[in-house]
Amino acid sequence: MTSATPKPPLPRRTPQRVAPEKIQEAVEARDALAAALTRAGIQLPAMDVRTPWPLTDDSDAGRATRYALIHLGVCAAPVALALAAVIVDGAGAGAGR
């Protein structure tokens, strides 16, 4: 029996310093998007606000993250098709302005 090769260490999650106003901006954007999708009859079940992962090197250590991300999650194919149709319809309506 051979000795097990040691596994590399798991990456550490570094606490993110995201400005509160950037998180609030992302929450408001997520809520506005969810409301617009609801009006169009579409629901994305896993929408969430997240902060980005830190860089793997230390070049940005000490610098606050400048944004938060709106994670849209996954959806079923019919939901994706409905979302695509709403986007195309909206883009077409905007072309006549």
How confident is the model over 64-73, as pLDDT tens digits?
Answer: 566 788 999 9
Distance separating alpha carbons of residues 17 and 84, to the nearest angstrom? 35
Pick 12 or 87 by higher pLDDT: 87
Taking residues 6-34, report their average pLDDT: 78
Structure tokens at 4: 């097990």
pLDDT of the residue at 84: 95
Instruction: Supply the mean pLDDT for the chain.
Output: 79
* Counts for the chain of helices (H) and strands (E), in that order: 2, 2
pLDDT of the residue at 87: 92
